[in-house]
């Protein structure tokens, strides 16, 4: 199973337009089924995301990312975004994608998308934990050149 993560292309526009503030806004991760088709170039706000999972132990809108950090390492020219691992306890759900977005703005039409993770296949929990263990290198990195 190949897991891949990609930034939404319009995320940088959202940051530059001060629609998303990684220092103070609440970032969330929501899960979607395989029926959602991510469009890295066209999707910009949460209202573009379809087919959110439903099930025991999962709340619509997803979970808040705890302890979000972003750091820049000059020696490698790498900017890193990270947070604590995320778990939906005692859940019964099936998901193919995890979508990170800024939940602070007032409506889904103004909540900027950040990135998505493709698990490579449907992942399920049955009355157990559904956990996302973020890569030790960060949820995503950007190399500045």
Instruction: State the Cα–Cα distance between residues 140 and 145, nearest whole angstrom.
Output: 16
Over 90: is that where the pLDDT of 1 sits? no
Contact 36, 97 (CB under 8 A): yes
Look at residue 119 in the predicted model and tell me its pLDDT.
96
Average pLDDT over residues 24-45: 97
Q: What DSSP designation does 65 have?
A: P
First to last CA, the chain: 31
Going 136 to 67 to 8 to 59, the CA torsion angle's sign is positive
Instruction: State the Cα–Cα distance between residues 26 and 11, nearest whole angstrom.
Output: 15
Give residue-wise pLDDT tens across range 54-103.
999 999 999 999 999 999 999 999 999 999 999 999 999 999 999 999 99
Average pLDDT over residues 5-24: 93
User: Which pLDDT band holds residue 2 (cuts at 50, 70, 90)?
Assistant: low
Look at residue 3 in the predicted model and tell me its pLDDT.
78
Q: What percentage of residues in the chain have a pLDDT greater than 90?
A: 92
Residues 6+ apart with CB under 8 A from 92: 55, 56, 57, 125, 126, 127
Q: If you average pLDDT over every residue of the chain, what do you get?
A: 95
Look at residue 98 in the predicted model and tell me its pLDDT.
98
Write down the pTM of the prediction. Answer: 0.95
Look up residue 13 and give its two tokens.
């526009």
Look up residue 14 and give its two tokens.
């959202």
Relative to beta strand 4-7, strand 113-132 is antiparallel
Average pLDDT over residues 2-29: 92
Average pLDDT over residues 105-125: 97
């Amino acid at each position: 199973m190949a897991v891949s993560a990609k930034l939404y292309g319009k995320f940088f526009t959202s940051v530059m337009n001060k629609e998303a503030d990684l220092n103070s806004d609440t970032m969330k991760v929501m899960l979607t089924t395989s029926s959602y088709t991510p469009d890295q170039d066209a999707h910009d706000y949460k209202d573009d995301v379809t087919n959110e999972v439903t099930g025991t132990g999962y709340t619509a809108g997803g979970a808040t990312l705890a302890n979000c950090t972003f750091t820049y390492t000059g020696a490698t020219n790498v900017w890193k975004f990270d947070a604590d691992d995320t778990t939906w306890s005692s859940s019964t759900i099936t998901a193919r994608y995890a979508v990170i977005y800024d939940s602070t703005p007032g409506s889904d039409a103004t909540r900027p998308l950040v990135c998505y993770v493709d698990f490579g296949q449907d992942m399920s929990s049955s009355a157990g934990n559904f956990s996302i263990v973020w890569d030790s290198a960060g949820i995503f990195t950007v190399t500045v050149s």
